[in-house]
Amino acid sequence: MKGQKRCRYFQYLQHLMILIFMSFSPTLLGANTIKISTGHWPPYLSEDLPGGGFVSQIIRESFESEGVDVEFAFLPWSRALAMTKSGKYQASAIWSCTESRSRDFLFSSPLLPYQYVFYHRAAEAFDWEALVELKGKKVGLTQDYSYGETLSDVIESGLVDADVTTSDAANFKKLLLGRIDLFPMDPVVGEAMIRNQFTSQAYQLTFHPKPLRKAFYHVLFNAESAGLRQAFNDGLATLRNNGRYQAIIEKAVAENSTPVTAQILEDKLVNWDATAAPCSPPPAE
């Protein structure tokens, strides 16, 4: 009898240890699923697009290659950032690096290079090398956007006249109507917007290839998610090495741009220095 009691006692302890292990097991707690906050920014990110946009697809497949599932939550941008900082979400996509964000978040490896270029009316010749050549131009800006200190300095000096409005679409309308001369914008987003919202007027708009500003987009992770950041970095490297990264971008750009523009954007989005450190600008062209 004593032997049976002792056996049942050890069985009880064994079951107890299993329950304790299950309570603290990261996998069983769902650490193999990451919750990522993001916003509406087609064609990069949008709950209205297949797969949530092509950047969502890159992020999802990067994590999946490391055995991590992804759940995206589409929110207003400021809320997405705040709720990631508070721990509601483990990461947020996609963001450029700033000093203030670096204090609160861990940045992934560079996910995608971005640039701002000047859109202008196609019927009017436009070329520039230095911002001083923009003297007398009226530049449309979108409220709450950051265009970099260089352009801000030129505007503050009075060299160019800034016209601020509430949306990118409103600035394209002003450009078409001749109310502004230039509009700086990410051409990936700009080309998708023109193609989808200004289809009949698309031939009237073009952009100068010289970038006004360029850097990288990253995925931001809260301070407790360093392991997930490493998983993403490893998965992203895998996608870049096996050609899947390039295939996703080429398909997305082709669907949202003219053939000539697509060729320009594909080269800039795919052929960049993979060794660039987080939060660093891309190599000079």
Banded model confidence at residue 152, pLDDT cuts 50, 70, 90 = confident
Contact 216, 236 (CB under 8 A): no
pLDDT of residue 26: 39
Q: Is there a shared CATH topology between the 27-114+215-270 domain and the 116-213 domain?
A: yes
Please state the rounded mean pLDDT for residues 50-64: 95
Q: What is the pLDDT of residues 165-182, one digit of tens each?
A: 988 999 999 999 999 999
Domain ranges of the chain: 27-114+215-270, 116-213
Decide which of 3.40.190.10, 3.20.20.60, 3.30.479.30, 3.40.50.12160 is the CATH code for 116-213.
3.40.190.10
Structure tokens at 149: 């200190």
Pairing of strands 112-121, 213-221: antiparallel
Q: What local confidence, expressed as pLDDT, does residue 256 receive?
A: 79
pLDDT at 53: 94
In CATH, the architecture of 27-114+215-270 is 3-Layer(aba) Sandwich (3.40)
As a whole number, the mean pLDDT across the chain is 85
Torsion, Cα 69 85 57 231, to 10 degrees, reads -50
Cα–Cα distance measured from residue 211 to residue 70, given in angstroms and rounded to the nearest whole number: 33
Is-cis flag, bond preceding 20, omega within 30? Answer: no
pLDDT digits (tens, 9 = 90+) for 210-230: 999 888 999 999 999 999 999
- With bands split at pLDDT 50, 70 and 90, how would you rate the model's confidence at 162? very high
For residue 284, the Cα-to-chain-centroid distance in whole angstroms is 21
